[in-house]
Chain A
Amino acid sequence: MSMVTAEHLHKTFGRFTAVKDASFSIDKGEIVGFLGPNGAGKTTTMKMLTGYLPPTAGTATIAGYDIIDKPLEARRHLGYMPENVPLYDDLRVFEYLEYRARLKGICGKSVRQQLGDVIDKCGLEPKRKNLISTLSKGYRQRVGLADALLGNPDLLILDEPTNGLDPNQIRQIRELIRALSENHTVILSTHILSEVEMICNKVIIIDQGEIKAADTPENLTRNLRAAGRVSIEFKGDATPVVAELEAFAPVKKVILEEPEDGWNRLLVRAEPGTDTREKAAAIIVAHGYPMRHIYRHIPSLEDVFVEMTRRD
């Protein structure tokens, strides 16, 4: 069952088009990472999914409920943590969470039970009675996350949940999100690509308001141009080696870099998904040249990101 479907979502602010014709669907239990450069339309897309920002055209559903026709039902399945975590500074942590719990329709004994649950999960116990205005950025972030978790919603939308946290806190939040994935669907946006690689099983890349890719990280990196790239360093006459390599089928181009210390440096561009190391090594060895380095580039999400969003 798909938890979220977006169909041709479109958003313009005056003449500026923030999101163009975005369509995607997210299945139950997936952790989806929204990637994109600053101002790509990540936050706008997320705000449209929550129903806060009405789309100019197109529609979306959450748990089968249309966000425009049935906004309240859709929101009952949603836990949202906005960017920069707006909170009421004059409330105490538990007061704020209690208010939010009641707003979400939780009542009776469940309020206390839910409060205890999210305070525990987010490690807020020591700051329970503190005024929100006295909290550090990391704790504010956790209060925002606790708020999103109240009522155990099916779908969590987290806009930059690890923004401004220190590495230990980032690790804690990451562990928490991973633990949540057992019975929640999570959509998160971030700039930190390694984070996405670690926890997400689906990536949506947005650039200039358009969805460039929506797939698993493995599939995305597999078909990358950078995927078959090999770099070699050897000593000797480069010309015949280059010619022989270029004659080899999957190789598309061989670039020779100026030797700095007497060692030639070759960059071999080949078809994605091929391995040309064995052949290259054989050629160099056949010439009897010494070789000190051969490496096949392992493509990362960063390569995918750069390739999809580069402006040149």
Chain B
Amino acid sequence: MDSKTNTITRSTSYFATLRTIYNKELKGYLGVPFGWVILGCTMALQGFILQAVLQVMTHATGNGVMYHMLDNLNFWFYFIFIFPLITMRCLAEEERQGTLEGLLTAPVTTTQIILGKYFAAYTFYLLLWLPMLLYPLVSDIGNFYTELRYGIQPEGSITYMLADWVGPYAILALSGSFFVALGILCSAMTRSQIIAAILCTCLMIMYYFMGRVTELWGEFPAAPIFHYLSCTEQVKSFASGVIDTRPLILYTSLTVFTLALTKRVVDYRRWTR
């Protein structure tokens, strides 16, 4: 080696490389219109549902606004499509462009690539829900304006009660961790973003309906399995403020399993290329 090589500072830190990939991927969401379009659309849909929820809330009491936002068929309408949209590019696009070759010939492990991409997609997913935290603030501002303009004290308001917010956010974070992993698995299986998105949507809908099996077939000996998997039921209980450890175990193990499977898929596909 010549003298020049010795002057290069190098690190072989596992997490430094992971962070490099994470940063690049996160920039891939926020540095281009792609991420902002998804964020904008999600906010618009959340706004529509909020409007409907506020109508409901004038009649019903007892539960927070987040409960009504999530325990709502309309919520699933867009929730399911978030995941294929944010994950379909991850590995499929790398493979189509051929840049996966560059990644896998750099001193980087498959696991680092997958984890970097996973955490970036997951971070972006979590960002999608942050604007909802502004609802109480916005409602306060609205109420303040009403009072100022019309001199009436409005009755309803959205509050920052911890119990109203922690549960819903916990289930969004938990189930999201698995669904993002599922999307990345689909993206690893093909070089076409469209196929990845279709596959992910299909699996998401299948998983969603697994939770509704008991509604169709009633109770039968295997029914507890479907209750256990039911994301609608989990959302309902978490949204009303019950933090349950069973979904925690379920989603953590499913996420780890799915990511491990993704690594196998990426490594396997190299053999056939």
Contacts and interface: CB of A to CB of B under 8 A. Distances in A.
A79 to B, nearest CB: 9
B2 A103 contact: no
Interface stretch (A107-115, A191-199, A217-225, A276-284): A107-115
B32 A90 contact: yes
B149 interface: no
A267 to B, nearest CB: 48
Contact of A86 (B31, B32, B98, B270): B98
Given A53-B270, A105-B16, A107-B10, 9 more contacts: A80-B102, A80-B105, A87-B97, A90-B28, A90-B31, A102-B20, A105-B12, A113-B7, A183-B4
Given A51-B105, A75-B107, A80-B105, A151 B8 contact: yes
Contacts of B24: 99
B227 to A, nearest CB: 44
Interface in A212-258: none
B102 A104 contact: no
A251 B24 CA distance: 68
Contact of A72 (B4, B103, B109): B109
Interface in A87-106: 87-90, 99-100, 102-106
Contacts of A86: 97-99, 101-102
A103 B21 contact: yes
Given A110-B8, A152-B5, A100 B270 contact: no
Interface string B99-129: 1011111111100000000000000000000
A294 B21 CA distance: 66
A36 interface: no
B20 A99 contact: yes
Interface residues of B, number: 34
A138 interface: no
B111 to A, nearest CB: 12
B1 interface: yes
B9 interface: yes
Contacts of A88: 97, 99
B43 to A, nearest CB: 24
B271 interface: yes
B12 to A, nearest CB: 6
A299 interface: no
B98 A75 contact: no
Nearest to A73: B107
Contacts of A53: 270-271, 273
A151 B8 CA distance: 7
Contacts of A52: 101, 104-105, 270
Nearest to B21: A103
Contacts of B20: 99, 102-103
A99 B106 CA distance: 11
Interface of B: 1-2, 4-5, 7-12, 16-17, 20-21, 24, 28, 31-32, 97-99, 101-109, 270-273
Nearest to B106: A103
Contacts of B271: 53-54
Given A99-B24, A152-B5, A154-B1, A107 B16 contact: yes
Nearest to A154: B1
B231 to A, nearest CB: 34
B21 A105 contact: no
A47 B271 CA distance: 11
Contacts of A110: 7-10
Nearest to B32: A90
Nearest to A105: B10
A160 interface: no
6 contacts: A72-B108, A75-B105, A90-B28, A102-B16, A103-B108, A105-B10
A87 B98 CA distance: 8
Contacts of B98: 82, 84, 86
A8 interface: no
B9 A108 contact: yes
Interface in A126-167: 147, 151-152, 154
A190 interface: no
B8 A152 contact: yes
A88 B8 CA distance: 25
B17 A105 contact: yes
Contacts of A152: 2, 4-5, 8
A300 to B, nearest CB: 34
A76 interface: yes
Nearest to B19: A102
A54 B106 contact: no
Contacts of B1: 154
Contacts of A205: none
6 closest A-B pairs (Cβ-Cβ)? Answer: A86-B98, A102-B20, A110-B9, A108-B9, A75-B107, A50-B105
Interface in A36-70: 47, 50-54
Contacts of B17: 102-103, 105
B9 A72 contact: no
A173 interface: no
A78 interface: yes
Given A90-B32, A107-B16, A183-B2, A100 B9 contact: no
Contact of A104 (B2, B31, B107): B107
